[in-house]
Amino acid sequence: MTGSATPAALAVEVAAGPPRRPARIGPALDRMAPLLGLTGLGLVWFVAGLVLKSVPAYSAFAGFAPGPALASFADLLSSGEAWRATTPSLARIGQGLAVAFGLGAPLGLLMGSSPLSERILQPPFQLLRMISPLAWMPVAVLAFPSWDGAIVFLIAVAAIWPILFATAAGVKRVDPVWLAMARNLGAGRLAALRAVVVPAVLQDILTGLRLALGVAWIVLVPAEYLGVTSGLGYAINDARDTLSYDRLAALVLLIGLIGYALDSLLGRLAARARWIPAT
């Protein structure tokens, strides 16, 4: 409390009581927390497998239980099928994210640095963002000569919005003092953008890219239900058609593990991208 505080402010402080200290987590528990979460998920999977085996109505889906699924997963790895299914999907994801980044990042920089551009572009972009990427599937099939092109288009449509809006939000948070210092040192608009704005919003761009990866990874599987004969989505569809539920569960596990690894990588890059200007 300070002597200059108003009676109303003092009353609020007294009612609120002493400030609460954030709960501290021990280093060992902090390191174990992710493992505990994954262990809990494994237990849920194990219990669900027991239900599938014991309930006659669900016995046909017993292949989803951990035992058959993990055996099939090991077979995917040993036979090389996991790599053969993953490689085309990663190539499509990479191309789609590259297109989304190439369009979304510059547009985000424009919207964040120009209030007029934001007022013009915000309504149509928000409208387009609300359209499911899969709704563009008929258009993609007609517009692109190859199935791969259509899938890359759908991934790009899904991934562009997180990159664009995260970049725009980051630009608007750039400290004006940094820009003023750059101008005082003789930097033009493009030079200030390259030397100040882009490094300052790099963390926001990578965070948007991380969110875009999550959306793109979700869109990938149904997009690969199109006429392609390769990829994780095609493998999922083939396992479903042949009633190979253990293989289907193994592919789902593979998709989750790869997505988790990619997300963790981008998360680490974003965490290290914090920019502190030289003084």
pLDDT digits over 35-63, tens only? 888 888 888 888 887 777 777 766 777 77
- pTM (two decimals): 0.79
In a domain, 279, yes or no: no
Q: Taking the mean position of all CA atoms in its chain, how far away is CA 103?
A: 17
In a domain, 12, yes or no: no
The reported pLDDT for the residue numbered 104 is 93
In a domain, 70, yes or no: no
Contacting residues for 88 by C-beta, under 8 A, at least 6 apart: 228, 230, 231
In a domain, 241, yes or no: no
Of 203, 220, 40, nearest to 148 (Cα)? 220
In a domain, 167, yes or no: yes
The reported pLDDT for the residue numbered 41 is 83
Q: What is the largest CA-CA distance in the chain?
A: 78
- pLDDT at 97 > cutoff 50: yes
Domain count, the chain: 1
In a domain, 219, yes or no: yes
The 8-class DSSP code of residue 238 comes to: H
115: pLDDT confidence band, cut at 50, 70 and 90?
confident
Over the stretch 251-263, which tens digit does the pLDDT of each residue have? 999 999 999 999 9
Q: Please, what is the angle between helix 245-271 and helix 81-113, to 10°?
A: 40
- The values of phi and psi at residue 226, to 5°, are -65, -165
Residue 5 region by backbone torsions, left for phi larger than 0, else alpha for psi between -120 and 50, else beta: beta
Q: Using CA of residue 7, residue 10, residue 16, residue 17, what is the dihedral sign?
A: negative
CB neighbourhood size of 68 (10 A): 18
Kindly report which listed range (14-28, 58-72, 141-155, 230-244) carries the lowest average pLDDT score: 14-28
Query: Which CATH number do you get for residue 124?
Result: 1.10.3720.10
| Cβ 203 vs Cβ 170: under 8 Å | yes
In a domain, 179, yes or no: yes
In a domain, 28, yes or no: no
Buried b (16+ CB within 10 A) or exposed e, 73-110: beebeeeebbeebbebbeebbebbbebbbeebbebbbb
Per cent of the chain over pLDDT 90 is 36
Expressed as residue numbers, the domain containing 267 is 87-228+261-271
Q: Which two tokens stand for residue 19?
A: 């400030």
Q: Is 169 exposed, middle or buried (0-12, 13-18, 19+ CB in 10 A)?
A: middle
DSSP codes, 13-68:
HHHH-SPPPPPP--HHHHHHHHHHHHHHHHHHHHHHHHHHHHSGGGGGGGGGSHHH
| Cβ 208 vs Cβ 104: under 8 Å | yes
Q: Which two tokens stand for residue 186?
A: 């003789």
